[in-house]
Every structure is written in C-alpha cells, then in structure tokens.
Copies of this chain bind each other. A is one copy, B any other.
Amino acid sequence: MHRAVVLVSGGLDSATVLAMARQQGYACHALSFAYGQRHAVELEAAARVAKSLGAVEHRVAQIDLRLFGGSALTDEISVPKGRDMEAIGEGIPVTYVPARNTIFLSFALAWAEVLKAHDIFIGVNALDYSGYPDCRPEYIRAFETMANLATAYATEQGQRVTIHAPLIDLTKAEIIRQGTVLGVDYAQTLSCYDPTPDGKACGQCDSCTLRRKGFHDAHIPDPTPYQEAA
C-alpha cells in the first residue's frame, strides 16, 4: 500500500481530498498546522476528519507564522464579513497568509521524505479563490519541480514526488458533490475564518459565503452548524 502525506486543515476542501486519496488506495498520513491562526478550533475539526476518513495517523506541526504577521488570519486585522461573490473574487484578500501553502507543502515534503512517500495531496482550489497566488496550477507544478530537486530520496532513487491537487479546477459545488459520494460528513468540517470557540461558523466571512453557495449550487443540504445570528 503506497503512502501519501495529505494536508488536512479541518475544512471542507481538504476533507474531500483525504477521501479521494483514501479511495485511490493510499495509506494516508494527515498533516495539520498550528500556525497561530485565530480559528484554532479548526484543528479539532482536522482531528475528527482524519479519524473518520481513515487516516493512518494525524500529526500537527507547530509553526508560529505570527512571527512575521501580514494576514487577517494571524494578525489583528479584521476578517471581512458579508461580501458578495464579486467582491470575494477581486484581488488578494486580507485573509491571505504570505507563503502559507509553500510552508505547508515544505513540511509535507519533509515528512514524505522520512516516510518514503512519493505522493502529497493538497486541497487547493483555483476557481473559487483566484485571489490566492499559491492556489494556481502553475504554482503547484513549480513546487513539484522544486521538490524533485530538493530531496535526497527523489534524487537518489529516481522516483518522482507528485503533488496532487485534485480540486484545483473544481467548483465548490463539484467538490461537495464528489465528497458526498465518497461519504464525507461535512458536518465534521469547519471552513469559517471567524468561528465561535465551540466551533460554530459565522456564516458571513468569505469562506462561509463560498461554502454556503457551494451547498446551494450542489442542491445538497448544508449541515454546517452556524451561529444563530448568521
């Protein structure tokens, strides 16, 4: 059984990716990050998701990106609320964390090398979030090229590392449909940028807006626990 490292945030996208990797027969090693995010309850969601979708193990890397600042997810910048799809699609959002996917994939690569795993899965999505440069296909390909030059196991043994981004050109509705077929329980996942301490979604940040629209467009009931006001 081939091993894979799967980045699992606790959100809807990465849960779907974990289900896809399991369906392809990989023994999945789930990796999450405590990176100083304000919404740390997402790590509890990540642990639930990893367990229920059959990951072999789940590890949490402690990295404090607050050291550098520069994002609404780690700084005291406000998370925007109530924006429509047009506003969400414009430019790079304040929730962008500088080089986050690069850091996450670098840790995944380190673990993959130790495990001798040649497959890394990440739930980036270019359609719904065109504002994040590190969610684009050309970025993923460039990381993969670099990864194959960076590591001893890929260099010596000549077996390439592949970065799988199976959601990259799917809409949120398509992701939800595919995950539902694979048995993902989306009630376990948390996408919200500003949840309550007990894990209820705000319903109004960009991530909640995209998620709600996804369930609506997929004609699948949204099982997300929202705050009452939302």
Instruction: Using CB atoms and an 8 Å cutoff, list the residues of chain A in contact with chain B.
Output: 59, 61-65, 67-70, 91-92, 96-103, 106-107, 109-111, 113-114, 132-134, 136, 138-139, 142-143, 145-147, 149-152, 154-156
Contact = CB atoms under 8 A, between A and B. Distances in A.
A112 to B, nearest CB: 8
Closest 8 CB pairs of A and B: A99-B110, A98-B113, A70-B114, A142-B146, A139-B149, A133-B155, A103-B106, A106-B106
Contact of A146 (B69, B143, B154): B143
A128 B103 CA distance: 27
26 contacts: A59-B68, A62-B62, A63-B63, A65-B110, A68-B107, A70-B110, A92-B156, A97-B110, A98-B110, A98-B113, A98-B114, A98-B151, A99-B106, A99-B110, A101-B150, A102-B106, A102-B147, A103-B107, A133-B149, A134-B150, A134-B151, A139-B146, A142-B145, A142-B149, A143-B150, A146-B146
A99 B109 contact: yes
A111 B65 CA distance: 9
A50 to B, nearest CB: 15
Given A111-B68, A145-B145, A150 B62 contact: no
